[in-house]
Amino acid sequence: MLLTSELSVNYTSRKTSRKTNAIINLSALVSNYKHIAKLAPQSKTIAVIKANAYGHGAIKVAEALSQHAPALAVAFIDEALILRDAGINLPILILEGALDPEDVAIALKQNFWLMLHNTEQVDWLVNLSKKQALSYSGKLWLKVDTGMNRLGIMPNDVDSILAKLSNIQLQSLVLCTHFSNANELNNPKTLAQIKQFESINKNYLCKKSLANSAGIINWPESHGDYNRLGLALYGASPVPTINLPIKLDPVMTLQSTVIALRKLTVGESVGYGELWQAKRPSLIATIAIGYADGYPRNAKAGTPVFIKGRLVPIVGRVSMDMTTIDVTDIEQVKLGDLVELWGDNLSVEVVAKHMGSINYELLTRVSARVPKQYISR
């Protein structure tokens, strides 16, 4: 007699049949890092790998950059602990600082660099230093608000906070701020923020950090002792691509395959809500990626995808697991053909425009069920 267990497939070790995946090109990542770091040769370039490295996989990205970046940055402590558990020993800057007093203790132990942005966080640190002799080999960052009005202490409070911190033995203090409009080349706000920042720091002469990707690329006067490089590291542009002083290579290529084909006559519709109707005899391909994979449902009809060397539009509603595309003009489309949603042949910026979104959001929203395949070439 045959037991059912003998028939069963070992699903965990089985290779997936689903061809939808995100290909992550680690050579492109490293080359982007080096090119952008060269734009600011006087600065140390911190690699920002929050939100699972903008959807690219934080551990793999951290490993690939470990020989190049002096430090990494994430949003909160849990993101940093995942990296430590994976054996990443670089200093890690925590951009939201400590969210409770316990975070402060963890940060001291793990060589995380805390970015303090309010008086409560400063008090947690000062109180801890009263209870135990602090040996903090890490760097402390103090964020000052120069007009983003989201995080940061007010310029008038810098004096009293630095006085409080003067009781703690510190390796160094980095004064930092964050830009609200650095992606806009003609907006004077960034220069106003830089000016205000410099007028504060001239009294203290701390080490300084202002620039994100757009700051590094657009505003050389914002380069500090440390810059904080996020988006551009992944080959996505924070500014109109025509203005880029360097070539960025996309790190992620999101792809899927054709799993069904339909011939439609004039007037027949596709998908939920009959959102799209054929105006000509049409060939429609169903591809195996949907909003549960992070391909947004608000993609408008006409959003391009890349198949067999050509761009074609999506038609109808994006559904949970699938999307439909018009391949009438493409010859000999067949099941299994690869379709690129964004990547080497179609920039994520272009795709994002059709969705009323931005490259940051599309990259970070690629969901956990999309397998990542890491390549170097």
* Window 178 to 217, contacts with ligand PLP (CB under 6 A): 178, 212-214
Here the tokens at position 372 are 């990542």
Assess 250 for contact with ligand PLP (CB under 6 A): no
Q: Which is nearer to ligand PLP, 83 or 325 (CB)?
A: 83
**The residue to which tokens 């001239």 are assigned:** 202
Distance (Å, whole) CA 33 – CA 248: 9
Assess 95 for contact with ligand PLP (CB under 6 A): yes
**The residue to which tokens 């890092």 are assigned:** 33
Assess 32 for contact with ligand PLP (CB under 6 A): no
Contacts of range 74-81, beta carbons closer than 8 Å, 24 or more positions apart: 74/48, 74/49, 74/50, 75/50, 75/51, 77/103, 77/106, 77/107, 77/112, 79/50, 79/51, 79/52, 80/110, 80/112, 81/106, 81/110
Assess 230 for contact with ligand PLP (CB under 6 A): yes
Here the tokens at position 83 are 């990296």
* Window 48 to 77, contacts with ligand PLP (CB under 6 A): 48, 50
Q: Which is nearer to ligand PLP, 19 or 139 (CB)?
A: 139
Q: Shortest distance, CB of residue 230 to ligand PLP, whole angstroms? A: 2
Q: Shortest distance, CB of residue 31 to ligand PLP, whole angstroms? A: 17
Contact residue for ligand PLP among 77, 104, 210, 231 (CB under 6 A)? 231
Q: Which listed residue (34, 38, 195, 272) is catalytic?
A: 272
- The footprint of ligand PLP on this chain (CB under 6 A) covers a number of residues equal to 12
Contact residue for ligand PLP among 229, 251, 258, 285 (CB under 6 A)? 229
Assess 271 for contact with ligand PLP (CB under 6 A): no
User: 34 by DSSP, 3-state: which?
Assistant: helix
DSSP code string of 220-236:
GGG--SEEEE-GGGGT-
Q: What separation, in Å, do the N-terminal and C-terminal C-alpha atoms of the chain show?
A: 51
Q: Which listed residue (19, 50, 60, 139) is catalytic?
A: 50
Q: Is 50 a catalytic residue?
A: yes
Vertex 189: Cα angle to 188 and 193 (nearest 5): 125
- Number of helical H runs and strand E runs in the chain: 12, 18
Q: Shortest distance, CB of residue 233 to ligand PLP, whole angstroms? A: 7
Residues of this chain that interact with ligand PLP (CB under 6 A) are 48, 50, 95, 178, 212-214, 228-231, 238
Residues annotated as catalytic (active site), given as ranges: 50, 272
